[in-house]
Chains A and B, each alone.
Chain A
Amino acid sequence: ISGVFWSFLNGRCVIFLAYLNIVCLCSASQMQTVTLIPGDGIGPEISVAVMKIFEAAKAPIQWEERNVTAIKGPGGKWMIPPDAKESMDKNKIGLKGPLKTPIAAGHPSMNLLLRKTFDLYANVRPCVSIEGYKTPYTDVNLVTIRENTEGEYSGIEHVIVDGVVQSIKLITEQASQRIAEYAFEYARNNQRASVTAVHKANIMRMSDGLFLRKCREAAEKHRDVKFTEMYLDTVCLNMVQDPTQFDVLVMPNLYGDILSDLCAGLIGGLGVTPSGNIGANGVAIFESVHGTAPDIAGKDMANPTALLLSAVMMLRHMGLHGHAKKIEAACFDTIRDEKVRTQDLGGNSKCSEFTDAICQRVRDMD
């Protein structure tokens, strides 16, 4: 009888322990840690706003704040602080505010340093018209995916003779393949219908030709997504006349820089545009692309929309679609309402008032 009783107890224990394990696992996968880099200028205020809104939405995110001011490492090379790098490598997901570009600090721009450290090869910018913030363009709904490591921004320049400068545009097979594959994966994961490669292969036959070839190869592997190719000038021409004809655009560095800013201009500027950088090894850093706005820093006048929409993009990347949808809807509803809007959107409310309005809406949605 004692044997049966002991095995019964053991069984219960096992079941209880198993139950505990499952509970622990569930809560561990629910609460995710994200590295937060507040940045400079208005960075800290808008980061606080985003954290407040996430708390109100009960999003399972734990924030780990880090500073990325460059320090000189052993050997004299500039690098980001080791604790920031460690945190990013551990958490894999990061949210970044605007960083100050140093002019005479001796080290390169922080964005460049981050890009190199984590091999952030794809810059993704979804441009969706914001209802309530009127621009001459309505119904914009496209995504620009830009190769972020090479191309015209390789930084390789030399003065051949006095008065003749040569700047090298580098296109490699590996980088082009990587970005093309990512573009099609993104299209598939986000239910986008088509991918358009933007190029100038009529003039730059070998370089853009290589890029185009890799895009075509990736298209073969993803036959469920429609693939088209278009010249850069045709894209520019059609974009300002009818942006609704475009879906996902993939392109090398320079064209991507110009086109992504063009699309940001269509929806209202950098103050309302989200952006994400995807790196190797599953690292992804989402950021607001506007400047630090030192003139309004600390005055509670900043608009947290760009950072908030980037954070929403981050939630989608992590698979938390429910929370993403809730927060995004609350944000758009608040802007559409026109009662509480920050100065850059045409209103005269404070940043904290705008944030509180969104928090209230999020809570009401539950």
Chain B
Amino acid sequence: KIKMCSFVRPFLLSVILTSMFSLLRSDPLLPPSTQQVHRDSLVCASQPPPAQYGGRHTVTLIPGDGIGPELANHVRELFRFCCVPVDFEVVNVDSTMASEDDINNAIMAIRRNGVALKGNLETNHNLPPSYKSRNNLLRTTLDLYANVMHCQSLPGVRTRHRNIDIMIIRENTEGEYSSLEHENVPGVVECLKIITRTKSLRIADYAFRTAREKGRTRVTAVHKANIMKLGDGLFLECCKEVASGYPEITFDSMIVDNTTMQLVSRPQQFDVMVMPNLYGNVVSNVCAGLVGGPGLVPGANYGEDYAVFETGTRNTGKSIANTNTANPTAMLLASCLLLDHLKLHAYANMIRRAILSTVTETRLHTADLGGQGSTSEVVQSIMKVKNFTVTF
């Protein structure tokens, strides 16, 4: 009895000390905004979960519709070939089902694993409004507030404009995509666009932080505040507020219609662009088109706790599904972004180098780039790239 007591006392002491320490780390008495900043300074947003189970990561994989499943298979094939320490937990979501069970299962899987690779889920817009877009549901439930797309001109791809290097940061959860609509009287429909100060500050802060991390010098806010004075006016105000905290970065703003005009005549003038949801949709698709099309640009959705990677322009590619003609570059580059997020930089750089050399040097282009290659040929060619070794 006395021997047990001698163990218990130091054990209890250590338990009490550890719990006190963990309580001190997140002080609930601090106001929420300071707490947020405090958290952010300790831990950067969307920290990946640590690798468990023998140093291997588990990542949720949602194949999606159209070309999604075949591209997901190619990703798995490539990862297996490169011995990447990632295991995929495949969650199939049937977008034709009326019940939201499938997408809820997928969301739970992403909460479990923290990271996901996703194909686009088709939304049949002829169904009644009770059937919400599955992709949008996923983004808003997991609060993936920043959609980041990096559009760069690739050397081997022939486009009308050269030397494009634009980073597009788009607010991903509110704005026009709030899905709040009602019919007041038959024939009169109202759709609400919501802009909040907290989310605008959050996305502006994310944009400036990213610009600083990547050594970018200019951030442009895209808006339509001359017409939507309160909504986009608030967004612009928040951007200006955040800009004052980053004096080394030039901040300017541009109206969305002028932006699209400038993008098709002189896209080289843009560096980092930040904008609300709908304008982000337009601008990111225009930029993807400028650098060579939807098959080349990957996209990433970041939240506080989760990250989901997909193709930049979110196409289902229904018309070319199962024809072995889709361009796998976008999905494979998205998987490289995934590896970067998991801090497996060596693997990410190796695969990225192989993909870019296939696209630029060996000229094995798929139909969307004007060539005649098939998806499997491109993937095989990537795997055959010389000096394809991991350097640690």
Residues of chain A at the chain B interface (Cβ within 8 Å)? 135-137, 152-153, 155, 157-159, 162-174, 199-210, 212, 232-234, 236-241, 254, 257-262, 264-266, 269-270
Contacts and interface: CB of A to CB of B under 8 A. Distances in A.
Nearest to B227: A153
Interface stretch (B44-52, B98-106, B281-289): B281-289
B37 interface: no
A169 B189 CA distance: 8
B286 A237 contact: yes
Contacts of B181: 204-207
B197 interface: yes
A258 B257 contact: yes
B290 A240 contact: yes
B125 A201 contact: yes
Contacts of A209: 125, 129
B176 interface: yes
A189 B208 CA distance: 51
5 contacts: A166-B192, A170-B191, A199-B125, A206-B191, A258-B279
B92 interface: no
Given A209-B125, A262-B263, 18 more contacts: A152-B228, A153-B228, A165-B230, A167-B231, A168-B192, A171-B188, A173-B186, A201-B125, A202-B133, A206-B189, A208-B125, A210-B189, A212-B125, A234-B315, A236-B289, A240-B264, A258-B282, A265-B261
Between A168, A240, A241, A266, the greatest number of chain B beta carbons within 10 A of the residue's beta carbon is seen for A240
Between B131, B264, B284, B285, the greatest number of chain A beta carbons within 10 A of the residue's beta carbon is seen for B264
Contact of A262 (B182, B195, B261): B261
A165 B194 contact: yes
B262 interface: yes
Interface of B: 123, 125, 127-129, 131, 133, 136, 160-161, 176-177, 179, 181-183, 186-198, 224, 227-231, 234, 256-258, 260-265, 278-279, 281-282, 284-286, 288-290, 293-294, 313-315
B193 A174 contact: no
Given A158-B230, A166-B194, A203-B133, A261 B257 contact: yes
Contact of A238 (B227, B279, B289): B289
Contact of B263 (A203, A233, A234, A265): A265
A325 B181 CA distance: 47
A223 to B, nearest CB: 21
B191 A261 contact: no
Contacts of A233: 281-282, 284-285, 313-314
Q: Which 7 A-B pairs have the closest CB atoms?
A: A173-B187, A163-B197, A265-B261, A240-B289, A261-B257, A136-B160, A201-B125
A232 B260 CA distance: 13
A165 B195 contact: yes
Contacts of A202: 123, 125, 133
B186 to A, nearest CB: 8
A288 B240 CA distance: 33
Nearest to A240: B289
A281 to B, nearest CB: 22
Nearest to B287: A240
Contact of B294 (A169, A206, A237): A237
B191 A204 contact: yes
B265 A135 contact: yes
B188 A170 contact: yes
Between B229, B286, B293, the greatest number of chain A beta carbons within 10 A of the residue's beta carbon is seen for B286
A241 B289 contact: yes
A258 B256 contact: yes
Given A205-B129, A236-B282, A269-B265, A172 B189 contact: yes
B289 A237 contact: yes
A24 B129 CA distance: 61
Contacts of B258: 261
Contacts of B290: 240
B260 A262 contact: yes
Contacts of A169: 176, 190-193
Contacts of B179: 203-205
Contacts of A238: 289
A143 B196 CA distance: 36
A136 B290 CA distance: 11
Given A153-B227, A237-B289, A205 B282 contact: no
Contacts of B189: 170-172, 206-207, 210
A237 B261 contact: no
B369 to A, nearest CB: 10
B161 A136 contact: yes
Given A173-B187, A202-B133, A203-B133, A165 B261 contact: no
Contact of A265 (B192, B230, B260): B260
Given A172-B187, A265-B265, A167 B228 contact: yes
Given A166-B193, A170-B188, A174-B187, A203 B136 contact: yes
B230 A157 contact: yes
Contacts of A264: 261
A274 to B, nearest CB: 16
A232 B278 CA distance: 10
Between B177, B181, B263, the greatest number of chain A beta carbons within 10 A of the residue's beta carbon is seen for B181
A287 B231 CA distance: 29
B188 A173 contact: yes
Given A153-B227, A174-B187, A205-B181, A164 B261 contact: no
B191 to A, nearest CB: 4
Contact of B260 (A135, A204, A258): A258
B188 A172 contact: yes
B192 A167 contact: yes
A166 B197 CA distance: 12
Between B125, B231, B263, B289, the greatest number of chain A beta carbons within 10 A of the residue's beta carbon is seen for B125
A163 B198 contact: yes
A265 B264 CA distance: 6
Contacts of A210: 187, 189
Contacts of B231: 157, 165-167
Contacts of A171: 188-189, 191
Given A137-B264, A159-B230, A164-B196, A262 B176 contact: no
A262 to B, nearest CB: 4
Contacts of B160: 136-137
Between A135, A163, A210, A233, the greatest number of chain B beta carbons within 10 A of the residue's beta carbon is seen for A233
Contact of B286 (A159, A162, A236, A254): A236
